[in-house]
Amino acid sequence: MKGVGPQRGDLLKKELGIFNFNDLLHHFPYRHIDKSRILKINELNTANEYVQVQGNLIFYEVLGEKTSKRLVAYLKDETGTLELIWFKGISWVQKILNNSERYTVFGKLGFFMGQAQIVHPEIELKTEASESKNLLEPVYSTTEKLRARGVGARQIGKLVQSLIALLKKNDIPENIPENILRDGKLISRFDAYLNIHFPKTIQEYDHALRRLKFEELFITQLRLALLRSERHRFSKGFIFKKVGEMFNTFYKNHLPFELTGAQKRVLKEIRTDTATGHQMNRLLQGDVGSGKTIVALLTMLLAIDNGFQCCLMAPTEILSQQHFTSITKLLKDINIGVHLLTGSTKVAQRKHILKSLMEGSSSILIGTHALVEEVVQFQKLGLAIVDEQHRFGVAQRARLWKKAILPPHILVMTATPIPRTLAMTAYGDLDYSIMDELPPGRQPITTVHRYDNTRTRVMDFIKTEIGTGRQVYIIFPLIEESAKLDYENLVQGYENVKAFFPEPKYWISMVHGRQTAGVKEANMQRFVKGDTQIMVSTTVVEVGVDVPNASVMIIESAEKFGLSQLHQLRGRVGRGAEKSFCILMTSVKIGNDARERIKIMTSTSNGFEIAEKDLELRGPGEIEGTKQSGALNLRLADLVKDKLMLEAAKNFAGDIIVTDPELQSAENLSLKQYLLSLQGKTPWSKIS
């Protein structure tokens, strides 16, 4: 492009990732400045950010020495005087300034000791030509380095302008089918690119933005739907033909409670998936305590009835142990081989387990990531369930696939609720179930906020609870497990707790990241068994641990925790029959964001509601489990603000996939061509 030599080109690549015309076209302005208004100088106030003023230059002077050297000019209209200041390019500006000429100036308004001023304004002689300019001027992001080399926001604007002058309609072909354009009242793609940069009116800009946001969401949703559709149609998976004896016997005679509606629904979905002959790849999201374990067990029984083996992976030893204990208990009257395999399984036992897996006498293998090791081989693995998904890497899961002739059905369970919009974008290629219903009869957890200066009363409350036989968690933040200060806080906290609760009347477990796995495990077990009444810990207890007798959760420095973490921690109590409490301790002075989080926590215990708020407060990039998701590379659309548009885009995409899954019809041709042009990013290999 004219105006971009090798040096500038290099800088644009390095600084802004602009390699070609397409990148430049997609370097959207982050705002437009409205230059249609000219303000009087006495109207200027701190509420104005960018202002445009007209007046006569009455006088200018160079002040200061060296670094404080500056050019100050005074512009006067009939209402007052404005100071214009330059620190750079002084000699050049001096040349263009003429006393008593009339100028239009534009820039970011500031005040110094009450005097209105603009530093480095744009300045123009008030001539006829300057009247007819674009009144909405785009503002582009740039960097210090680029600015220093003369590529500021305006220069980028000029580059974009010359690019757009080069473009013809065919260069930006339409990619959304016509009926959708019509139904969605969307402007054409070409016009949208034009007007997102250089709109004539705010309305034009809004239409352009709306169209491009929709395109972004629609194309993302379509690609995810294609991936899913491809898996549904072309993947090969084991068929679980029947609901057999194991399942039925257990369901009729050993199920300790009536399933919730949500549990039944999810089971039905799984049953349907596994009967199709294609591989199931389902994500099950259920709030803490919604009863995912029993769903996992029933799914495993279904697999076993059809002659397959299963495995259930959990992120920690303690969780694996708990799953093993509860599952063997539930299956005690049914003859099924269940084994536990973790890093601490003894050699002899491990040998025995590996052998029974190969022989097929072990039907359910429960364990940590030890399960994915190569030595673990099954006779006929048909189903793999992964609990608390976000702690398992993609690579680890992939290793599971290699353990059978066909990839086993996969059920991933997570108790970290993520908002629907986010799930649609991050996990849109998976099948997706939600359990948003808690088993009946749960006592709601009472959550309160207490300041540090009432700690004594909180401790007295704990004492009463322990007196009635309950157990208590006290959680300290350890943001960086290695951070010395946090660690000292924890130890100090432990000493304080100990002062209130002296041995031998009370016993305390302490667990933190600096302990060896063995020590951690032992301390945790003492609490699980009820040998200790208090667990002082960092967030290592966050996920999954089940101690029904624990009824109080104290979270120290609660202001330092994120919402989802607070929710997970709170989920550790309220698991038994007793009334449970969560007490959020903070110092008296906390920031607004923290106060908002605490307010949300004390007002709802619905994980999905909390997740929605979390998304609003933090934005999608920060939400756990979605960080690596490429599906979230949205430039314009916002999952919070554009929720409705996302729903619409998903529906349009869904309709297309249902009626024309290979995009063969004439009306979808341009769409198909567009997807094909996104090289390597769309799963067309098998389709086309």
Contacts to ligand ADP by CB under 6 A: 257, 259-260, 263, 286, 288-294, 415, 439, 546, 575
Residue 572 touches which member of Mg ion, ligand ADP, none, C-beta under 5-8 Å by kind: none
CB of 1 to ligand ADP, least distance (A): 57
Nearer to ligand ADP, 404 or 415 (CB): 415
Nearer to ligand ADP, 407 or 417 (CB): 417
CB of 338 to ligand ADP, least distance (A): 16
Dihedral sign (CA 133, 136, 139, 140): negative
Q: Token digits for 292?
A: 């995912």
CB of 578 to ligand ADP, least distance (A): 13
CB of 573 to ligand ADP, least distance (A): 12
Nearer to Mg ion, 237 or 367 (CB): 367
Q: Rounded to whole angstroms, how far apart are CA atoms 237 and 404?
A: 11
Q: Rounded to whole angstroms, how far apart are CA atoms 656 and 650?
A: 10
Residue 363 touches which member of ligand ADP, Mg ion, none, C-beta under 5-8 Å by kind: none
Nearer to ligand ADP, 59 or 257 (CB): 257
Nearer to Mg ion, 55 or 544 (CB): 544
CB of 295 to ligand ADP, least distance (A): 8
Contacts of 274 (CB under 8 A, 6+ apart): 237, 238, 239, 240, 280, 302, 303, 383, 409
Nearer to Mg ion, 411 or 594 (CB): 411
In terms of C-beta density within 10 A (0-12 exposed, 13-18 middle, 19 or more buried), how is residue 182 classed? Answer: exposed
Find out whether the peptide bond into 440 is cis, omega within 30 degrees of 0.
no
CB of 381 to ligand ADP, least distance (A): 23
The DSSP symbol for 176 reads S
Stretch 513-552 residues interacting with Mg ion (CB under 5 A): 544
Nearer to ligand ADP, 314 or 490 (CB): 314
Nearer to ligand ADP, 290 or 342 (CB): 290
Nearer to ligand ADP, 416 or 537 (CB): 416
Nearer to ligand ADP, 75 or 611 (CB): 611
**In whole angstroms, how far apart are CA 573 and each of 101, 215, 539?**
75, 45, 14
DSSP strand pairing (80-86 vs 70-77): antiparallel
Residue 607 touches which member of ligand ADP, Mg ion, none, C-beta under 5-8 Å by kind: none
Q: Token digits for 669?
A: 């041709």
CB of 415 to Mg ion, least distance (A): 6
Contact indicator for 83, 73 with CB cutoff of 8 Å: yes
Q: What is the dihedral of CA 258, 261, 265, 266, to 10 degrees?
A: -70
| Residue whose C-alpha is closest to residue 606's, from 572, 555, 570, 556 | 570
Residue 439 touches which member of ligand ADP, Mg ion, none, C-beta under 5-8 Å by kind: ligand ADP
Residue 257 touches which member of ligand ADP, Mg ion, none, C-beta under 5-8 Å by kind: ligand ADP
Q: Please identify the residue of the shown chain whose CB is closest to the bound Mg ion.
A: 544
Neighbours of 637 (CB within 10 A): 21
Residue 416 touches which member of Mg ion, ligand ADP, none, C-beta under 5-8 Å by kind: none
Q: Rounded to whole angstroms, how far apart are CA atoms 558 and 317?
A: 27
CB of 437 to Mg ion, least distance (A): 15
CB of 387 to Mg ion, least distance (A): 6
Residue 260 touches which member of ligand ADP, Mg ion, none, C-beta under 5-8 Å by kind: ligand ADP
Nearer to Mg ion, 25 or 611 (CB): 611
CB of 291 to ligand ADP, least distance (A): 3
Tracing tokens 């001096």 back to the chain, one arrives at 94
Residue 615 touches which member of Mg ion, ligand ADP, none, C-beta under 5-8 Å by kind: none
Neighbours of 20 (CB within 10 A): 10
Total residues binding Mg ion (CB under 5 A): 1
Contact indicator for 420, 331 with CB cutoff of 8 Å: no
Maximum CA extent, the chain: 100
Residue 294 touches which member of ligand ADP, Mg ion, none, C-beta under 5-8 Å by kind: ligand ADP
CB of 326 to ligand ADP, least distance (A): 7
Q: Rounded to whole angstroms, how far apart are CA atoms 114 and 11?
A: 40
Identify the bridge partners of residue 608 per DSSP, sorted by sequence position.
none
Q: Token digits for 364?
A: 């359910």
- The full DSSP string for 608-668 is HHHHHHHHHHH-GGGSTT-TT-GGG--SS--TTTTHHHHHHHHHHHHHHHHH-TT--SGGG
CB of 436 to ligand ADP, least distance (A): 12
Nearer to ligand ADP, 109 or 294 (CB): 294
CA neighbours within 13 Å on the CB side: how many for 460?
4
Q: Rounded to whole angstroms, how far apart are CA atoms 203 and 188?
A: 15
Nearer to ligand ADP, 215 or 546 (CB): 546
Q: Token digits for 335?
A: 């003859």
Residue 80 touches which member of Mg ion, ligand ADP, none, C-beta under 5-8 Å by kind: none
Residue 289 touches which member of Mg ion, ligand ADP, none, C-beta under 5-8 Å by kind: ligand ADP
CB of 368 to ligand ADP, least distance (A): 17
Residue 138 touches which member of Mg ion, ligand ADP, none, C-beta under 5-8 Å by kind: none
Q: Please identify the residue of the shown chain whose CB is closest to the bound ligand ADP.
A: 291
**Binding-site ranges for Mg ion (CB under 5 A):** 544
